[in-house]
Structure 1
Amino acid sequence: MATHFGAAFIDAQLGSIAEQSHKDWSLWVSDDGSSDATRSRIDAFARAHPEHEVQLFDGPQMGAAANFLSLLARLKPGERHFVALADQDDVWFPDKLGRALRALEPLDDAPAVYASAQTYTDAALSNPRPSRAYPRGPSFSNALLQNILSGSSIVLTPNAVDLLASVLPDQAPKFLDWWIYQVMTGCEAHVIYDPEPSLFYRQHSGNILGEGHGLRARARRVLLLYGSGYRAWLDAQLPALERAKGQFSAENQRVFERFLAARQGFAPKRPVALWRTGVHRQSPLETALLLSASAFGRL
């Protein structure tokens, strides 16, 4: 868990971890300089649950992605830990860990990642609504343009942890969960997406990134795709794949290189060049909008 001024909601998240049906867990928390009650709440949780290992570390104070990466860097290769990522303000369903581990059990000796849908709520855990569906499923061609693995739902097998630890970037990506999706699909690891929600994803003013699937959310995505923000995201995200690309499959290495070249190509020809790489979002309409926006330097 990566924390930063999380006192307002962290008690509910910690309580949901304590109530997991799967009881064999440890909690590592990296705190990015919180001066509210975040650290004292974690200390109190550790005292209340002496049967579990609860460790609190000082984070690098370079953003949420760097904070999570600092925790991955603390894991020693070969320790054979399953790792679940946790946000400070969500609430896990009681079977979250157990369900993920059952799904990953047949892939125990392989690099694999599990993620699930979420139930979005407001800050008071009211107004529940489902997260988006992803009909085309996971792929590297999708991962280059879109993330479908919500970090708060991600669980990694030990081999996946070792894989990610071996390609940690020098500079953190914009979004850690998107980077995990890109690396895992690029390396053709197993990706399990569970359409059943495993947590309440609390949306509030302090969220780094919100999501949704209604008309308002779709309008926000269209504005993002046609604005300059999306290209800035990619510019911050793609360099973090440099250390990983050598472990991509041969086909995905070709897709990656063609994608990078197409982004920098002659503007009027970019949409066709990008289309030929096969990159796509889950929505055909969003794919078409994004490829057309590339002619104006928006990708």
Structure 2
Amino acid sequence: MLFPQVNILLSTFNGTQYLREQLDSLLSQDYPNIFIHIRDDGSTDNTVDLLMSYQEKYSNIRVTVGENLGYIRSFFELVHNCEDRETELYAFCDQDDVWNPQKISRAVEKIQMSPDPSMTFYCSRMTLVDRDMKFIGVSPNPSQVDFGSAIMGFTYGCAVVIGNGIKQMFLQASPDDMLAHDWWACLIAAAFGHIVYDVEPQVNYRQHSSNASGGYRSELLPRLKFRIKELLERLFKGKPTVDFLNQAEKFIMTYDNIHIEKRYIIEELLILKKENNQMVSRLCYIFNPKLHAINSVDNAFLKLTILFGRH
């Protein structure tokens, strides 16, 4: 097995409560070639002092202190500032999780088995834990891993490792067009490369009120409430909480060389949304398997939003 450098990209913001535990889990990886790039996004607590103490102790940690940009722009800066070496890999990392010791070695092994490691996106299932690291459950396995599911989103950045080719395409985009950095990278892989999904959880994903991305709604009732609320927002206020179609439109505008079949999935949705007299067409479309979510609640939400032209 070859050991390409894996660049762990960690954005921090007021993270002292859980950060030490996460840093220790990164340093305990059984993979021999990692470098940890950290950008602090304008913390006002003792996060920077904690990071500097680790940087002084470990030669494979580099800390940059910046202004508050928000987590998407902060991760974009991390990717942008990494040196460009063709064989290297990049792992997104959140400040409040705990990684399994074999996470990186397992990801590298699976990526190297891909037909094109540079254009491969690895993601794993997650173990969901509370703020005290007590077991809650596991994230569901997606029913399909393809462009149709990537449009809706099926993974979280803390479980993601990408090749250098995906990194290069990622930097062609604007962070203003992204709902999330990891989601955009997944779209790139689904459209132009390969996705490797690991059914074995490799991250302990901590659930608490301060999650930068809002946390993962794993249980049926909270997820159902979230989707009902979002559906009502779309139907009566026209303000989607998560505008996946707008992101998808920006995606095909950014990469005009996308295959026509994948482009058409998005363009067909845009047509159905813009024309008010498309109820019959929309009714037919919701039975089309080209677009799908990872569970029954999200699938029902998706079909209803399309049926009423609020997708």
TM-score by length of 2: 0.85
Alpha carbons of 1:112 and 1:89: their partners in 2 closer, same or farther (altered >3 Å)? same
Match of 1:202 in 2: 206
In structure 1, runs of 5+ residues without a counterpart are none
User: How high is the sequence identity, in percent, across the aligned residues?
Assistant: 22
Structure 1 position 42, deviation (Å): 1.0
Match of 2:218 in 1: 213
More strand by share: 2
Alpha carbons of 1:211 and 1:177: their partners in 2 closer, same or farther (altered >3 Å)? same
What is the identity, as a one-letter code, of the residue corresponding to 1:198? Q
Alpha carbons of 1:198 and 1:117: their partners in 2 closer, same or farther (altered >3 Å)? same
What is the identity, as a one-letter code, of the residue corresponding to 1:102? E
Q: Note if contact 2:119-2:163 (Cα within 8 Å) is conserved in structure 1.
A: yes
1-structure distance, mates of 2:65, 2:232:
36
- SS of the aligned residue for 1:228 comes to helix
2-structure distance, mates of 1:227, 1:249:
34
Match of 2:64 in 1: 57
2-structure distance, mates of 1:16, 1:148:
24
Q: Verify: 1:149 aligned to 2:155, yes or no.
A: yes
Structure 1 position 248, deviation (Å): 1.8
Match of 1:294 in 2: 306
Alpha carbons of 1:62 and 1:224: their partners in 2 closer, same or farther (altered >3 Å)? farther
Match of 2:31 in 1: 22
Query: Pick from 117, 121, 132: which aligns with 2:125?
Result: 117
Q: Deviations over 1:115-159 (max 9, x none)?
A: 00111111111133111221x221111122x21121001001122
2-structure distance, mates of 1:283, 1:2:
29
Q: Deviations over 1:208-255 (max 9, x none)?
A: 222243222332343245232683421663454145331322211122
Q: Deviations over 1:76-115 (max 9, x none)?
A: 4445321001000000010010110011112354400100
2-structure distance, mates of 1:44, 1:11:
11
What is the 5 A alignment of 1:1-299?
A: 1-50=10-59, 52=60, 54-59=61-66, 61-107=68-114, 109-134=117-142, 136-144=143-151, 146-165=152-171, 167-169=172-174, 171-187=176-192, 189-207=193-211, 208-228=213-233, 231-234=240-243, 237-238=247-248, 240-266=250-276, 269=279, 271-272=282-283, 274-275=285-286, 276=288, 278-284=290-296, 286-299=298-311
Q: Note if contact 1:121-1:203 (Cα within 8 Å) is conserved in structure 2.
A: yes
- SS of the aligned residue for 2:173 comes to coil
C-alpha RMSD of the superposition? 2.4
2-structure distance, mates of 1:285, 1:163:
32
Q: Note if contact 1:82-1:156 (Cα within 8 Å) is conserved in structure 2.
A: yes
Alpha carbons of 1:236 and 1:30: their partners in 2 closer, same or farther (altered >3 Å)? farther
Alpha carbons of 1:30 and 1:152: their partners in 2 closer, same or farther (altered >3 Å)? same
- SS of the aligned residue for 2:132 comes to coil
After superposing on structure 2, the runs of 4+ consecutive aligned residues of structure 1 that deviate more than 4 Å are 76-79
Structure 1 position 268, deviation (Å): 5.3
Q: Note if contact 2:72-2:175 (Cα within 8 Å) is conserved in structure 1.
A: no
**Paired residues, what number?**
293
What is the identity, as a one-letter code, of the residue corresponding to 1:150? Y
2-structure distance, mates of 1:273, 1:263:
14
Structure 1 position 295, deviation (Å): 4.1
